[in-house]
Homo-oligomer: A and B are copies of this chain.
Amino acid sequence: MQEQQIKQWGNFEASWEGPKEGNPFIDVSFKAIFKNANREVEVNGFYAGEGQYTIRFMPDQIGEWYFQTESNIETLNGLNGEFQCIEAGEDNHGPVIVSGKTHFSYSDGKPFYPFGTTAYVWNYQNEEVQEQTYETLKNGPFNKIRMCVFPKHYDYNLQEPLMFPFVGSLEEGFDFSRFDTRFFDKLEEQIARLEELNIEVDLILFHPYDRWGFKNMGKEADRCYLSYIIARLASFRNIWWSLANEYDLIESRSMAEWDDLFKLIQKEDPSQHLRSIHNWHRPDNRNNTHWYDHCKPWVTHASIQHPDTSLCLELLALYEKPVIYDECRYEGNLNHGWGNLTAERMVQCFWEGVCQGGYVTHGETFMNPNDVIWWSHGGKLYGESPDRIAFLRTIIEEGPVVERLAPFNFEWTVFAGKVGEEYLLAYFGDSRPSSKVLPFSENEKYKIDIVDTWEMTITHLEGEFAGGSTISLPSKPYSALRARKI
């Protein structure tokens, strides 16, 4: 028999029959040790329903892998096998990791610039809306989506879901020790379809908007839930763990408990996907004491909610990790203060954040006669910002690769990033200077583009410009300047 071949960052999966009686989710322990050269990786298996016990694993090293299971059930103990991990396919660059100090790349080194969006519970909507969501994502500028495992209870989100992660119902209550495997099968199908679209899934594990009791399941159930999620989903290369959305609105859990949940994920995830936690409140008196301390070692990047993207510079300096403004308010016209931003301001937030070397996430909240609002339900986008975000993404992806944008102080109202003497991207936003002096050495020459970030035009200036030259600018809001060394 030919040895099984698994592509690097692909998904190895094997299942065996085991007991159905009792509560297999709790009663049966089941894991495998995967070995490659002198390295061992422990991978938890999970009960997939119908008496099936499954191990999933994403190999990150090319070469021979061997595994052996461990279980408290004799027939599941000591099972073993092997496979050969071969080169990844062209479209698979592996999971996203932190690159340098404050940026991201895929595992193979290809730069990744997060241009995310938010559709918290699109996965709970009807099939027609789900298909619209895939279609919108396929044609849009976004490469990351924030979405929840749990359903959402909130304005415009009052319909009862058809399926839940747990067995039970609102009326009869839920058994937090029994997972509804149909729900997870569906979630995996959704994540796989997003993977095909090259969209990273920033999966929100807890959140406060709840009428079913999922935010207060108790410590044991919380841990059991996280372990199950990790066992099932960690082998998807496009998974990011967002421990919680607006964690600070879940008042029942202490900061130490959040730490413990982070540590559980850090310990159990064999693929070490990105980990973050997202706030609701703004820091008191802007001294940052209120926020979760994103300096903690298990946090891979700061996932910030704040309307002021000009803080990006400070946050990068404070955390020395990538900073993503995962919520800076949404384009739309909702009654809620966070949901009625102009497209102009949404685009401005993106440019402000990105030019400082940070990242920004989109959301859309236009009132809709059917209450299908992108921010929560997915569906269609109606706003004017996505095209401008696509335009920005193109500019950023055309930028320097080896070293990436570092914030540069080009006077206080300008959001600018530089790469040494190589590259400058400066965004003027509400400012409209008639000229600026090129902030480079006079020994170097540059080609200059004037960017209209709203009209989405790039005007190349004739000629070469030495550092220190005065560059005429159009005195128009929403302009940017790009300088590239010749």
Interface residues of A (CB under 8 A from B): 282, 285-288, 307-308, 310-311, 314, 318, 329, 333-342, 344-345, 367, 410-414, 428, 430-437, 470, 475, 477
Task: Identify A287's interface contact among B287, B411, B430, B475, CB under 8 A.
Answer: B287
- A427 CB, min distance to chain B CBs, angstroms: 12
5 nearest A-B residue pairs (beta carbon): A337-B411, A286-B286, A333-B475, A345-B430, A337-B413
Contacts of A339 in B (CB 8 A): 433
Q: How far is the CB of A343 from chain B (nearest CB, A)?
A: 10
Q: When the two chains form their complex, are residues B307 and A308 in contact, meaning their CB atoms are under 8 A apart?
A: no
Instruction: Give Cα distance in the complex from A187 to B475, angstroms.
Output: 36
With A286-B286, A287-B285, A314-B285 already in contact, the answer to whether A333 and B432 are too (CB < 8 A) is yes
Query: A478: nearest residue on chain B (CB-CB)?
Result: B342
Closest to A307 in B: B413
A285 CB, min distance to chain B CBs, angstroms: 6
Cβ contact within 8 Å between B340 and A431: yes
**Chain B residues whose C-beta falls within 8 Å of the C-beta of A341 in the assembled complex:** 413, 430-432
Cβ contact within 8 Å between A433 and B334: yes
Main secondary structure of the interface of A (DSSP, over half): loop
Report the bound CA distance from A428 to B334 in whole Å: 12
Query: B436 and A335: CB pair below 8 A?
Result: yes
Are the C-beta atoms of A336 and B287 separated by less than 8 Å? no
In the complex, A282 Cα to B286 Cα: how many Å? 13
Residues of chain B with a CB closer than 8 A to A433's CB:
333-337, 339-340
Chain B min CB distance to A262 (Å): 25
* Cβ B412 vs Cβ A337 within 8 A: yes
Give me 18 A-to-B residue pairs in the complex whose CB atoms sit less than 8 angstroms apart, sorted by A's number: A285-B286, A286-B287, A286-B314, A287-B287, A308-B310, A333-B433, A335-B435, A335-B437, A335-B470, A336-B411, A336-B433, A337-B413, A337-B431, A337-B433, A340-B434, A341-B413, A341-B431, A367-B434
* Min C-beta distance of A395 to chain B, whole Å: 22
A217 nearest CB across to chain B (Å): 30
| Residues of chain B with a CB closer than 8 A to A318's CB | 285
Q: How far is the CB of A413 from chain B (nearest CB, A)?
A: 4
CB–CB B412/A334 < 8 A:
no
Residues of B within 8 A of A340 (CB): 413, 428, 431-434, 475
* Interfacial chain B residues near A334, Cβ < 8 Å: 433-434
CB distance from A168 to the nearest CB of B (A): 35
In the complex, the chain B residue whose C-beta lies closest to that of A310 is B308
Q: Given the complex of chains A and B, what is the CA–CA distance between A345 and B410 in angstroms?
A: 20
CA distance A402 to B314 in the complex (A): 42
Question: In the assembled complex, how far is the CB of residue A146 from the closest CB belonging to chain B, in whole angstroms?
Answer: 19
B residues within 8 A CB of A437? 335
Q: With A287-B285, A432-B342 in contact, do A413 and B475 touch (Cβ < 8 Å)?
A: no
Known pairs A285-B286, A340-B428 / 15 extra A-B pairs, C-beta < 8 Å: A285-B287, A285-B318, A308-B310, A333-B432, A333-B434, A335-B434, A335-B470, A336-B411, A337-B413, A337-B414, A338-B413, A339-B433, A340-B413, A340-B433, A344-B477
- Which of these, B412, B430, B434, contacts A342 with CB under 8 Å? B430
Tell which of A335, A414, A435, A436 has the most Cβ of chain B within 10 Å. A335
Closest Cβ–Cβ distance, residue A470 to chain B (whole Å): 8
User: How distant is the Cα of A345 from the Cα of B428 in the complex, in angstroms?
Assistant: 13
A471 to chain B, nearest CB (A): 10
- Measured between alpha carbons, how far is A335 from B439 in the docked complex, in Å? 13
Most buried by B among A311, A334, A413: A413
* Nearest-neighbor residue (CB-CB) of A437 within chain B: B335
Docked Cα-Cα span, A344 to B478, in Å, equals 12
How far is B311's CA from A311's CA once the two chains are assembled, in angstroms? 13
Residues of B near A436 (CB, < 8 A) are 335
CA distance A288 to B335 in the complex (A): 33
Chain B proximity of A312: nearest CB distance (Å):
13
Q: Give complex CA distance A308, B414 in Å.
A: 14
Residues of chain B within 8 A of A310, CB atoms compared: 308
Task: List the B side residues contacting A286 at CB < 8 Å.
Answer: 285-287, 311, 314
The smallest C-beta distance from A220 to any residue of chain B, in angstroms, reads 36
A72 to chain B, nearest CB (A): 51
Q: Which residues of B contact A477 (CB under 8 A)?
A: 342, 344
Closest to A286 in B: B286
Shortest beta-carbon distance from A310 to chain B in Å: 7
Cα–Cα distance between A329 and B310 once the two chains are bound (Å): 15
A329's nearest neighbour on chain B, judged by CB, is B413
